Amino acid sequence: PSVARENVTEMMSSNLTLHRLNTGRECRVNTAVTMLAQYLFRYQGHISAALVVGGVDCTGPSLFTVYPHGSVDQLPYVTMGSGSLAAMAMYEAGYQDNMEKGAAVNLVRAAIQSGIDNDLGSGSNVDITVITMGAVERHRNLDKAQPKYKSKNPLSYAAGTTRFWNEAITKHQILITEGDTMDE
102-156 pLDDT tens trace: 999 999 999 999 999 888 777 788 999 999 998 999 999 988 877 666 778 888 8
How many other CB atoms are there within 10 angstroms of residue 72's CB atom?
A: 16
**Residue of 99, 47, 91, 94 lying closest to 69 (CA atoms):** 47
Candidates 31, 42, 87; CA nearest to 68 is 42
Q: How much is the mean pLDDT over the chain?
A: 89
Are the C-beta atoms of residues 39 and 69 closer than 8 Å to each other?
Answer: no
- Which of the two residues, 74 and 163, has the higher pLDDT score? 74
Say what the pLDDT of residue 183 is.
Answer: 61
* Pairing state between β 135-144 and 51-57: unpaired
